[in-house]
Structure 1
Amino acid sequence: MGASHSSSSKSSRVLTFNSSASWKIHFEEAKSTGKLMVIDFSATWCGPCRFMEPVINEFAEKYTDVEFVKIDVDELSDVAQEFGVQGMPTFLLIKRGTEVDKVVGAKKEELQKKIEAHRKN
C-alpha cells in the first residue's frame, strides 16, 4: 500500500471543542445518530494524556465509523463536571447521548477493546 508520509498535511479526525455552547449543539445532534462517540477528557499538563494523544489519532484513523472528540478539562470544566470526570485522561464511550462505557487512565488496550465492543452494536 502506498501510504503518503507527509504528516504535516494530515489533519486529525479528532474533533476539538473550545466552547461549551458549540459542544452542546454537537452533542444534541450526535444523539440522533447511532454512532459511537469517544470523548477524550484531557489536560495540557497531564503526561498520560499526551501519551494517549497519538493513540487517539491512530484509533480515529482506524475506526472511521466512530467519532472521536477531545475536550480540555481546563477549557470546558463545566462539560467535564457534567460528565463527572475526575481523573485524566478519561475516555467516555457515548451512544445516543448515553454513556455506555468508560476508561480512566492511559489504557490503550482496554480502550481499544471497548471501542471494538460498542461500535458493532
Structure 2
Amino acid sequence: MGKVVERREEAEGKKRGDRVIVIHSASELEKRLEEASRTSRLAILFFSKARPCRFVSPLYASLAVKYPKVVFLKVHIEEGPNAESMALDRGIRKFPTFLFYKSGEEVDKVVGVDAFELERKVPLHSRKQTQARRDQVIVIHSASELEKRLQEASRTSRLAILFFSKARPRRYISLYASLAEKYPKVVFLKVDIEQGPNAEGMAVDRRISKFPTFLIYKSGKEVDKVVGVDAIELDRKIPLHLRKQARRKQAKSLSEYEF
C-alpha cells in the first residue's frame, strides 16, 4: 500500500510541476549528487515516510519551487530494501531527515518535522554556495591592481577575463561567478563602474562604453571580447580560448625537442 501511495504522490507532483526528484536506487542517487557537485549546486536529500512526513512534504515541494538552483531529492522509505539501504548507509533512523550536500559532501542536516529549521537552512546554505562562487571573482579597484593581476596571469600562462559591470543588468553577475568556479584555471576579474573615477578610467582606457563587457586576455594582451548580455557566447569563448592556449603550449613543447 505504501508504494502505491508514494507512486501516486510522485505522479501528482509531476502534474503540478514539482521540482523534487524522487530517487529509486543508490546508483541514481550518486548520479544526482555528482551532477549537483559538478554544476556547483546545493543538493538536499529528503528521506521520507508516509505518516510522519505528510505535513512537511508540501513544504519541501514549495521550497523546490522557491529555490530553483538547489537540487531537491527525495527517497520514499516505503519503496522497499533499496530505499531502506540508502537510509542505513547514511545512518538515518528517524524520519523525516534532510541532508544537505555541497561538492558531494554532507555539510548539514535537519532531523524531524521542523519546518522552521528547514526553511532557515535552505536559503542559508544557498547563500553560502553563491558567496563561495563570488569569492573566486577578483574585484579590481585601481588601474595598478588591474595591471598587476593581468601580469600575474600572463606570467603563469593563464587566461584572464575582465568583466566591466554596471548595477543593471545584475543577472550577469551570478553567471560570471559560476563560470569562475567552472574554469578554476582562468583568472576572473571584475570592475564595478559605480565605484567611481578609477573604475570609469579603466573602462575609458579600453574604449568601453557598453555594459556588461567582457575582455579576454592572453599573455597580457586583449584577444577577444563579448559585449552585452550574451551568456551563450561568453560560455562558448572561454573553453575555445583555453583549447587554443593548450594547443600553443603543446606546439611550443614539441618544438623544443626538434633537432
Please confirm whether the aligned pair reaches a TM-score higher than 0.5, indicating the same fold: yes
Task: Measure how far apart 1:74 and its partner are.
Answer: 3.6
Q: What residue is the counterpart of 1:53 in the other structure?
A: 173
Answer yes or no: is the 8 Å Cα contact 1:65–1:119 preserved in 2: no
Q: What residue is the counterpart of 1:72 in the other structure?
A: 192
Deviations 1:14-58 (A, max 9, x none): 0001222322222233222221111110112x22xx111110011
Q: What is the count of residue pairs matched by the alignment?
A: 118
Structure 2: segments with no counterpart, 5+ residues: 1-32, 34-100, 108-121, 246-259
Answer yes or no: is the 8 Å Cα contact 1:42–1:90 preserved in 2: yes
Q: What residue is the counterpart of 2:252 in the other structure?
A: none
| Amino acid across the alignment from 1:16 | V
Q: Whole-Å Cα distance in 1 between the matches of residues 204 and 150 of structure 2? A: 15
2:239 corresponds to which of 83, 100, 116: 116
Higher helix share: 2
1:31 corresponds to which of 154, 173, 190: 154
Q: Whole-Å Cα distance in 2 between the matches of residues 32 and 20 of structure 1? A: 18
Q: Whole-Å Cα distance in 1 between the matches of residues 150 and 237 of structure 2? A: 20
| Amino acid across the alignment from 1:116 | P
Percent identity of paired positions between Structure 1 and Structure 2? 31
Q: What residue is the counterpart of 2:6 in the other structure?
A: none
Q: Whole-Å Cα distance in 2 between the matches of residues 30 and 36 of structure 1? A: 7
| Amino acid across the alignment from 2:185 | D
Q: Whole-Å Cα distance in 1 between the matches of residues 216 and 145 of structure 2? A: 19
How large is the Cα RMSD of the aligned pairs? 1.8
Q: What residue is the counterpart of 2:140 in the other structure?
A: 17
Q: TM-score, normalised by structure 2?
A: 0.43
| Amino acid across the alignment from 2:177 | N
Q: Whole-Å Cα distance in 2 between the matches of residues 23 and 99 of structure 1? A: 13
Q: Whole-Å Cα distance in 2 between the matches of residues 24 and 64 of structure 1? A: 20
Say whether 1:107 aligns with 2:222.
Answer: no
Structure 1: segments with no counterpart, 5+ residues: none
SS of the aligned residue for 2:128 comes to coil
- Greater shift, 105-114 or 15-24, is seen at 15-24
